[in-house]
Amino acid sequence: MAITTLFGDVTTQWGRWNRSSRLKRAARRYYARPLLPIASGATDVETATRRFLLYFMLPAWLVPGVVDWVWHKRTDIEHTSGAGESLIHCLMMSEVGVPVMMGLLLEINPLTLSVMLGHSLVHEATAFADVAYATNHQREVLPREQHTHSFLEVLPFMAVSSIICLHWDQFLAIWGKGPAAKRAKWRFALKKERLPSRYMRSILTAIGALLAVPYANELWRCVSAQRRGEALPPWKVGPREPVAIPPEEIAARSSGTPTPVEAH
């Protein structure tokens, strides 16, 4: 038994080392690939569109994202719509984040375009559900926040539209049309011409600092309010019921006095 256990441990460690080694080799092969040509002085439409996507549209999407977080904080999301809406925000970030990472790392083919289009449509539907959830649970969505939402909705749509224009043959191949339909590759594959490492580090750091960290903080604040007994969890709130627990009920709980609900 001891020999079998020891052999199993050795096998496990070897398997982990082997997987790590394969990942390192794959990373070295990827970074050995040529860079995608994005000359700063080029004026052709294709290069200019790529440059606009990478150096303007994607960074511009981060700005309304962090501004929207500020509006949520100012309207006291943890005591209004609570963790339910914060989880919707996390879902919306993943709906945009997946196509972003695919565009940065993967070849654009019918499969990647289909996923991007699907995520874009689902993101639009989730945006409607987000505002409805917020207003139904007594969080005031002011005009400034609604205007910020317009940027968060239109920028991903415009980015996907620009990618479709750059790869029109692959878009037609989704529907079985055009010359690329017969040789279309319906599989995920890393870019043959990769983006510069410096750009990747910069944009991923910006996404983490301006989106991932603030919205993780938002969710943490909402969950903390629940743990302090100041708000109800999403699964205990009705479709149009307030999330915040009334101050008198909090005071009654702390003093041991039965609340109206407990008295019955």
Give the CA distances from residue 202 to residues 51, 178, 187, 197, 208, in Å, rounded to whole numbers and listed in that order: 15, 37, 28, 9, 10
- pLDDT at position 2 over 60: no
Q: Please give the average per-residue pLDDT across 8-28, as a whole number.
A: 67
Percent of the chain residues topping a pLDDT of 90 = 62
CB burial string 101-137: b at 16+ within 10 A, e below: ebbbbbbbbbbbbeebbebbeebeebbeebbebbebb
Assess whether pLDDT exceeds 70 at residue 13: no
pLDDT (tens digit per residue) in 87-139:
999 999 999 999 999 999 999 999 999 999 999 999 999 999 999 999 998 89
The encoded tokens of residue 77 equal 């999301």
Q: Where are the domains of the chain?
A: 45-263
pLDDT tens-digit profile of 199-221?
999 999 999 999 999 999 999 99
Best CA proximity match to 141, nearest among 195, 93, 80: 80
* 231 bridge partner residues: 244
pLDDT digit string (tens) for 149-184? 999 999 999 999 999 999 999 999 999 898 888 888
For residues 178 and 172, is the Cβ–Cβ distance under 8 A? yes
CA dist., res. 101 & res. 60, Å (int): 16
Is residue 244 helix, strand or coil?
strand
Which tens digits make up the pLDDT trace of 73-88?
999 999 999 999 999 9
> Distance (Å, rounded) from C-alpha 84 to C-alpha 137?
10
The DSSP code sequence of 43-92 is -SHHHHHHHHIIIIIHHHHHHHHHHHHHHHHHTTGGGTTHHHHHHHHHHH
pLDDT at 256: 58
- DSSP-assigned states of every residue in 193-238: SBPPHHHHHHHHHHHIIIIIHHHHHHHHHHHHHHHTTSB--GGGS-
**How far is Cα 144 from Cα 71, in angstroms, rounded to an integer?**
8
Residue with tokens 């509006």: 71
User: Mean of the pLDDT values across residues 255-263?
Assistant: 51
Q: Are 124 and 157 in contact (CB under 8 A)?
A: yes
Q: What's the pLDDT at 25? A: 83
